Structure 1
Amino acid sequence: MILATAGLPGDGRLADRHRVAGRNLQFLCARIREVPGHERFMSGPTDEELLAASERGPIVVLNLSALRTDALVVRPDGVTVVPLPAVTPERVGALVDTFLTAAEDPAGHGGKAMLDALAWLWDHMAAPVLAVAAPPPGPNGPLPRLWWCPTGPLSHLPLHAAGHHLAGDGRTVLDRVVSSYTPTITALSRVRARRTTPSAGAGLLAVAVGRTASGTEVPLPGAHSEADAVAAIHPATTVLADGEATRARLLAELPRHARAHFTCHTRSDPRSPSLSRLVLHEADDELTVGDIARLDLSSVELAYLSTCDAARPGAEIPDESVHVAGAFLIAGYPDVVGTLWPMPDATGRRLARHFHTRLAEGDDPARALHRTTVRARRNAPGLPVGWANLVHIGG
C-alpha cells in the first residue's frame, strides 16, 4: 500500500509522494502496535533501555561528520560527550586507505604505516575516550569490558588495536580494556535478551570451502587444515568441506551446533543485510544471512568467520555499518568473530587454533579473542597486519 500510494499518477512532486508514503507507514505501524506483543513495533529504544545496555561495560558510540566528531560514552548513570576535534572525514578516509593498503601488501612492508596509524588513533580517539570510559585498571584485576559502536567510515578502523605498541608503556587499548563491537545498541540488547544456555554437548560445526566449483573465487588452500586444527581442539566437531557444505546441509546442521567456524569467502550486501552471504562450493548454492535468521537459533553460542573482510562494511554505502559478521549477530548469534582484512593462511590457522584453545579452557569469546590478539602481538609487535584484524562482535 505504501509503495502504491507513493507512486500515484498525477502526484507530481517527489516530496509530496514521500509525505503520503510516510503517513501510510505511520498508519500501518499504529495498527500493528495494537496487536498484543507488538506494542513497540518499529519504535526506538527508550533512554532507560539504552542506559541499561551498558550495565556490563560502557558503550562508545562514535559519530563522524564534517561539522564535528564526538564519542558518546554510554554508562548506566548517563551519557558523556567526548569531543574528538582532530577526527575529520578526510583524516579517517586517509587512515582507512592506510590500513587497507598495508593489509594488501603481500610482502608485509606496511607494518610501520599501520603502527603509525594505530598510534594516531590512540592519541586522537582512544585515549580521550578511555580517560572517561575506562580509567587504568589495577595491577592484578581483570581488564574491564568496553563496546565500540562506530558509524560510517569509522567502522573500517581497528579501534580495539589503537595504541603505541612498540613503546611498552601501556598506551594501547589492548592493555586497558577487552573490546567488543556492536552495529547498534539495540542489536546488542536484543541478542542478549535472546541468549540462552546452549544444550550440553552441542558441539561445533566447521565449514571449509577452499575452492569453488567454478574456480572464479580466489582459492583458500589453508581452509581444510584450519578446520582440522579446530576439530582437534573440540572433539564433538562436524566438518563439512567443499562440496559437502551445501546450503541445505548447513541449514540442517547450524541449529544442532552451539558453535560454528567458517573458513570461506563472504559477500556483504550493504543495501540488504539479509542478502549478505557465505560463498559455498557451487555458485548457485550460497547461504544468506536471511536464511540463517529464519532458523531456530535458540541454542547457538558463537560464529567464527575466518573469511575475507567478514567484519568490513560494504564500501557502496559507507555510512552504514553493515557487514556479514554484524549480520550474524542480528540473525541470532550472541558472539561473532570476524576479520577486517584478509590474512595469510598460516596466520589465520594459528589465530583460530589459539582462540579455540582458550575457549575450550573456559574463556568467554571476547576474552579468548583478546588473549589471542595479545599473544600474537607479543610474538610480532611490528606486524599488526597479523594481529589487529580480528574483532569480537556482541557479547
Structure 2
Amino acid sequence: MSRGTDPYVAGAMDRRIALAHEWDELVERVRRLGPRFASFLAPPRTQDFLSAVGDGTAVLINVARECHALLVTASGVTAVPLPGLSAAEIADRTERHLTALRRTDLAAQRVHHTQQRARVRKVPATYQAHHAAKIEMAEAQAELDRTLLPQLAWLWDTVAEPVLRALGSPARAGAEAGHRIWWCPTGLLSFLPLHAAGYHDGSGRTVLDRAVSSCVPTLRALARAARAPETEPAETDKLLVVAVQEADGMSPLPQVDEELRLLEDMFGPDRLTVLEGPNATREAVLGQLPQHRWAHFSCHGRQDPLAPSTGGLLLTDGVLGIKELGARAYNGDFAFLSACMTAAGGLSLSDEAITVGAALHYSGFRHVVAALWSIDADTATALTGDVFGSLTRGGRFRPQASAAAVTEAVIRLRNDSPAHPSRWAAFTHIGP
C-alpha cells in the first residue's frame, strides 16, 4: 500500500478483487458441469448466429452516430452503411408515431365510455356525446394512417431498400420467392414496423413484396429457437384457445366468438382446449400452457411504453403479465396473439424487448404472431382465419410455415386497403 492510500479504500479494493476472483471461479465451475453449461455467461459466438439463419439473413440495425445494418448470413457478417438514418430522426418519428397511436387509443376509449353512458342514460346529450366520440375516432384513425404512410416510405428509403440492395433481392418476389429476413432493430426503431416498410402504391417497392420477414428480440433468441428440434406428434399437439370477450373497464371484443368458431372448425374438439369467459383465469391459463404446444389468445392486450413490464393480456380475473409469462419454460411451437400491443415495448428500455410476444418467445414458444399497436376487430379475425387456414391446409398443422403465412395474410389485407396501414402493418411474426 502506498503511503498516501486510505486504509479503508485499500481494504475495499482488496475485497472487490477477491470477489471478482470468486466470481470467475464460480462461473468456471458452472461451465465444467457439462456441455449444456459450457457457454454459461459467455458472449455469443458468431458461428451460433451463422447457423441460425440458414439460407436467410438476420439484419441487426445499429443506431449510433453513424448507423449501419449488420447482415448476418451463413457466410459471415457484413456491415451496410445507412447514411440516411439518424438517431435524432428516429426519435422524432417515433414520438410522432406514438402520439398518433395514443390519440387513437384515447378516442376508442371515449367511444366505449360514451356508448356505455348512452345505454344507461338515454337522453339527447349522451347520444350526441357518443356521436362526437365516433367522429373523433374516425379523425384519429385517419391521422394515424396519414402518419404511417410516410413513415413506411421513410423506413424503405433509409433502411429496407439499402439492405435489400445489398442482398441482391429480386425486383419483385412476393412471399413465395422473396428473401428470408429476420429484422432485429435496436432502440426506438423497435417501435416502427420495419417488416412493412415501403411505398404501398402497387410499385412493388415494399418489404412485403420482396421478402418473408420476421422480427426477433435478439439474435441469441433466434439462435436458440432455430436449434429447437421439430418433435413428433404428441399429447401436447393441441391448441389452447383463451377467449375473453369482456374485461374490466374495456369495450367488448366482437371478434372473440367468430375466432373461436373458426378454430373449432379447423381443429375439431379432440385437438382443442377452450378457456372461455369466467374460466379464462390467470391460474387456469398458466396451468394449461405447458400442456399445449400451440396457443391462441383472443382478448385485450395492454402495454405502457413508460412501464413495459406491467403489460400483459387481460383475462377474466386481471392481467396475465409479461413477468408471469416469461418466468416459466414451455415446449411450445406456436402462439397467436389476437390482442392489442403484444409486440410493443418500452421507451426507457427499448433495447430490452419487454413485450408479451417476446416473453412467450423467450419462455419456449418458437413462433409467435403479435401486434405492434391496437388492432381492428374485423382485421384480427380475418388474419386469424387466413393464417390458421394456411397452416392447417392438408389436414396437418404446420407452425414452421408461420412466417410465410403471416406475410401472405398481411399482403392480402394490404391489397384490400393500401391507404390504411393502421389496419395491417401492426402484425408481425417472431421466431425462426
Q: What does residue 196 of structure 1 align with?
A: 230
Relative distance call for 1:139 and 1:336 in structure 2 (3 A) is closer
- Please give the secondary structure, in 2, of the residue aligned with 1:109: helix
Q: What does residue 85 of structure 2 align with?
A: 87
Work out the CA distance in 1 between the residues paired with 2:18 and 2:303: 32
1:98–1:114: 8 Å Cα contact kept in structure 2? no
2:193–2:425: 8 Å Cα contact kept in structure 1? yes
Structure 1 residue 16 displacement after superposition: 9.8
Work out the CA distance in 2 between the residues paired with 1:360 and 1:390: 20
- Listed as ranges, the matches of 1:286-305 within 5 Å are 286=320, 288=322, 290-291=324-325, 294-295=328-329, 297-298=330-331, 300-305=332-337
Structure 1 residue 14 displacement after superposition: 11
- Please give the secondary structure, in 2, of the residue aligned with 1:303: strand
1:262–1:304: 8 Å Cα contact kept in structure 2? yes
Structure 1 residue 87 displacement after superposition: 1.3
Relative distance call for 1:143 and 1:15 in structure 2 (3 A) is farther
Unaligned ranges ≥5, structure 2: 1-7, 105-136
Work out the CA distance in 1 between the residues paired with 2:173 and 2:258: 39
Relative distance call for 1:388 and 1:145 in structure 2 (3 A) is same
What does the per-residue CA deviation read over 1:121-149, in whole Å, with 9 as the maximum and x for residues that have no partner? Answer: 11111000111125216769622211111
Does 2:413 align with 1:390? Answer: no
Work out the CA distance in 2 between the residues paired with 1:351 and 1:189: 27
What does the per-residue CA deviation read over 1:226-247, in whole Å, with 9 as the maximum and x for residues that have no partner? Answer: 3333333332322211221123
Q: What does residue 220 of structure 1 align with?
A: 253
- Listed as ranges, the matches of 1:158-197 within 5 Å are 158-166=193-201, 168-197=202-231
Moved more, 361-370 or 379-388: 361-370
Relative distance call for 1:95 and 1:32 in structure 2 (3 A) is same
Structure 1 residue 56 displacement after superposition: 3.5
Work out the CA distance in 2 between the residues paired with 1:355 and 1:82: 33
1:293–1:332: 8 Å Cα contact kept in structure 2? no
Query: Structure 2: which amino acid aligns with 1:231?
Result: E
Does 2:160 align with 1:123? Answer: no
Relative distance call for 1:134 and 1:281 in structure 2 (3 A) is farther
Structure 1 residue 113 displacement after superposition: 2.5
Work out the CA distance in 2 between the residues paired with 1:290 and 1:248: 10
2:91–2:188: 8 Å Cα contact kept in structure 1? yes
Work out the CA distance in 2 between the residues paired with 1:323 and 1:182: 11
Question: Which one has a larger percent helix, Structure 1 or Structure 2?
Answer: 2
Q: What does residue 410 of structure 2 align with?
A: 373
- Listed as ranges, the matches of 1:47-196 within 5 Å are 47-65=46-64, 67-103=65-101, 104-105=103-104, 106-107=137-138, 108-110=141-143, 111-136=145-170, 142-166=177-201, 168-196=202-230
- Please give the secondary structure, in 1, of the residue aligned with 2:274: strand
Relative distance call for 1:269 and 1:114 in structure 2 (3 A) is closer
Moved more, 96-105 or 153-162: 96-105
Structure 1 residue 221 displacement after superposition: 4.3
- Please give the secondary structure, in 2, of the residue aligned with 1:243: helix
Relative distance call for 1:93 and 1:230 in structure 2 (3 A) is farther
Work out the CA distance in 2 between the residues paired with 1:14 and 1:271: 37
Work out the CA distance in 2 between the residues paired with 1:160 and 1:17: 50
- Please give the secondary structure, in 1, of the residue aligned with 2:34: coil
Work out the CA distance in 2 between the residues paired with 1:14 and 1:69: 41
Does 2:243 align with 1:208? Answer: yes
What does the per-residue CA deviation read over 1:162-219, in whole Å, with 9 as the maximum and x for residues that have no partner? Answer: 00111x221111111000111111111112222333525723111122223xx24554
Structure 1 residue 270 displacement after superposition: 9.0
Q: What does residue 38 of structure 2 align with?
A: 39
- Please give the secondary structure, in 1, of the residue aligned with 2:273: strand
Structure 1 residue 42 displacement after superposition: 1.1
Relative distance call for 1:360 and 1:242 in structure 2 (3 A) is same
- Listed as ranges, the matches of 1:260-299 within 5 Å are 260-266=295-301, 277-283=312-318, 286=320, 288=322, 290-291=324-325, 294-295=328-329, 297-298=330-331
Moved more, 375-384 or 355-364: 355-364
Structure 1 residue 120 displacement after superposition: 0.9
Equivalent residues, number: 379
Percent of pairs identical after alignment? 36
Unaligned ranges ≥5, structure 1: 1-9
Relative distance call for 1:287 and 1:240 in structure 2 (3 A) is farther
Does 2:263 align with 1:230? Answer: yes
Work out the CA distance in 2 between the residues paired with 1:170 and 1:151: 26
Structure of larger gyration radius: 2
What's the RMSD between the two structures over aligned residues? Answer: 3.1
Relative distance call for 1:48 and 1:92 in structure 2 (3 A) is same
Structure 1 residue 115 displacement after superposition: 1.0
Work out the CA distance in 2 between the residues paired with 1:375 and 1:189: 30
- Listed as ranges, the matches of 1:213-362 within 5 Å are 215-217=248-250, 219-235=252-268, 236-266=271-301, 277-283=312-318, 286=320, 288=322, 290-291=324-325, 294-295=328-329, 297-298=330-331, 300-361=332-393
Q: TM-score, normalised by structure 1?
A: 0.86
Work out the CA distance in 2 between the residues paired with 1:372 and 1:119: 21
Query: Structure 2: which amino acid aligns with 1:109?
Result: A
Work out the CA distance in 1 between the residues paired with 2:25 and 2:307: 24
Query: Structure 2: which amino acid aligns with 1:251?
Result: L
Query: Structure 1: which amino acid aligns with 2:89?
Result: R
Structure 1 residue 354 displacement after superposition: 1.3
Structure 1 residue 18 displacement after superposition: 7.9
Structure 1 residue 319 displacement after superposition: 3.2
- Please give the secondary structure, in 2, of the residue aligned with 1:262: strand
